[in-house]
Chain A
Amino acid sequence: MVLPYTRWQALDSTTLVCRSWERDDERAVFNEASGDLHLLNGAAVAVLTALQATPLSLEELAAQFPDVETSALEALVESLDLLGLVQPVYL
Chain B
Amino acid sequence: MTLADLSYTELRHRLRGEGLRARIGPFLVRINSTVPDVARSIQLLYAHHDVEQGREGAHFTVRVDPPSTIRRFIRAQVQLQLDGIQPFIPLPRSMAATMLEAGLNWSVGNLAHQFIAIHAATLERGGRALLLPAPPGSGKSTLCAALVHRGWRLLSDEFALLDPATGDLVPIPRPVALKGPSIDLLRAWSSDVVLGPAVLNNEDETVAYMRPPPESVRASHTRATPGWVLVPQFVPGARPEVEPMSRPRALMHLAGNSFNYNLHGRAGFERLASLVDRAPAARLRYSALEDGVTAVDRMTQEPRPL
Contacts and interface: CB of A to CB of B under 8 A. Distances in A.
Interface of A: 17, 19-21, 24, 26-28, 30, 32, 35-37, 39
Interface stretch (B141-149, B151-159, B200-208, B241-249): B241-249
Contact of A28 (B251, B265, B266): B251
B194 interface: no
B25 to A, nearest CB: 26
Contacts of B246: 21, 24, 26
Contacts of A27: 248
Given A19-B273, A28-B273, A35 B247 contact: no
B255 interface: yes
Nearest to B263: A35
A8 B49 CA distance: 58
B104 to A, nearest CB: 26
Contacts of A19: 248, 251, 269, 273
Q: Which of A19, A24, A39 has the most CB of B within 10 A?
A: A19
Given A32-B265, A32-B266, A39 B249 contact: yes
Contacts of B277: 21
B86 interface: no
B11 to A, nearest CB: 43
Is chain A's interface secondary structure helix, strand, loop, or mixed overall?
Answer: strand
Contact of B266 (A21, A30, A36, A39): A30
Contact of A24 (B247, B255, B265, B266): B247
B262 interface: yes
Contacts of A20: 248
Interface string B232-257: 00000000000000111101100100
Contacts of A26: 246, 248-249
A69 B247 CA distance: 30
Interface in B201-230: none
B170 to A, nearest CB: 23
A2 B255 CA distance: 31
Contacts of A39: 248-249, 252
A28 B262 contact: no
A28 B248 CA distance: 6
Given A17-B269, A19-B251, A21-B277, 10 more contacts: A19-B248, A20-B248, A21-B248, A28-B269, A28-B273, A32-B266, A35-B263, A37-B255, A37-B262, A39-B248
Nearest to B260: A35
A30 B277 CA distance: 16
Interface in B247-300: 247-249, 251-252, 255, 262-263, 265-266, 269-270, 273, 277
Contacts of B273: 19, 28
A7 to B, nearest CB: 28
Nearest to A34: B262
Contacts of B270: 17
21 contacts: A17-B270, A19-B248, A19-B251, A19-B269, A19-B273, A21-B246, A21-B248, A24-B246, A24-B247, A26-B248, A28-B248, A28-B252, A28-B269, A30-B266, A35-B265, A37-B251, A37-B255, A37-B262, A37-B269, A39-B249, A39-B252
